[in-house]
Amino acid sequence: MADWRPMINRREDGYPRIMGVVNVTPDSFHSDSRNTSADLAVATASRMSSEGADWIEIGGESTRPGATPVSVEVELSRVVPAIVGIRAEHPDLCISVDTRRAEVARRALESGADLVNDVSALGDPSMLDVIVEYECPVCVMHMKGMPENMQDDPSYGDVVSEVSSYLATKSSILVEAGVSPDRIIADPGIGFGKSLEHNVALLSSGRGVVPDKQMSLMWGVSRKSMFHDLLGRESSEDRLSGSLGVAAVSMEKEVDIIRVHDVVEHSDTFAAMKAVR
């Protein structure tokens, strides 16, 4: 296990920690993020670590809009060997597992993961028990609907207020079970049951969606379809500049962790901004 505690908060210079996405899936929305074997995942993680990633996140099930769920067995067969391989190569690297399933989270933590990123925000009733047992940090994300239907005309009265209330409810469940607020990371769920207007409002609000000042804030915006709606970029291959534009305001919005496909580009962006500042 790595020393994850300082890594769920912003860097001392105020810039977010960088989490590199390593998908061990054949159908993630950004094709360049797909790793078809554990060996490829380890190699990608090693490269991202050298490029400046503070975190590596392993995912074995795509949750893109319209995605079809996979079985627990398939997800485990993808996630566990990748985590074991990365931990063997990088004993001190912080590893997150992106999963909605308590059994996958448990096996991932046993294999060397440090953090559970649960896009269903405790949708699996057993997930809470795993988080409490392993005393690990957890990211709870807002999602309206499920991946297969979440983008079917999502609507809100006040999206910032509703997302913040949802995250408050979920974090209260964790705190009541004994999880300290400083182990909880809030994610507004950009692109998960939101229109462009909703996404922009949530990003503009920054820490306004975080229900407790002790909690951390994560943004996952990299190459998402909001850049199709905002910039007309049809392919995820053409959305890097938009992603970096959002990353450039993440410091002033007090983001703690930014989840990205392109580690070196984000690392360079923050380094150049810091030099000019």
Closest C-alpha to 230, from 219, 241, 217, 215: 241
CB neighbour list of residue 191: distance below 8 Å, 6 or more residues apart: 65, 199, 220, 221, 224, 225, 226
Query: Is 224 part of the annotated catalytic residue set?
Result: yes
- Reduced to 3 states (helix: H, G, I; strand: E, B; else coil), residue 162 is helix
Place of tokens 């380890």: 42
Of 144, 224, 233, 239, which one is the catalytic site residue?
A: 224
What the block records as the tokens of 117 is 């990123």
| DSSP track, 81-139 | HHHHHHHHH-TTSEEEEE-S-HHHHHHHHHHT--EEEETTSS-STTHHHHHHHHT--EE
In angstroms, the CA 151 to CA 73 distance is 27
What letter represents residue 219's amino acid?
W
Could you tell me the CA-to-CA distances from 95 to 1, 14, 72, 88 in Å, in that order?
9, 22, 20, 12
Q: How many CB atoms lie within 10 A of CB 189?
A: 25
Query: Is 253 part of the annotated catalytic residue set?
Result: no
Q: Catalytic residue numbers?
A: 224, 259
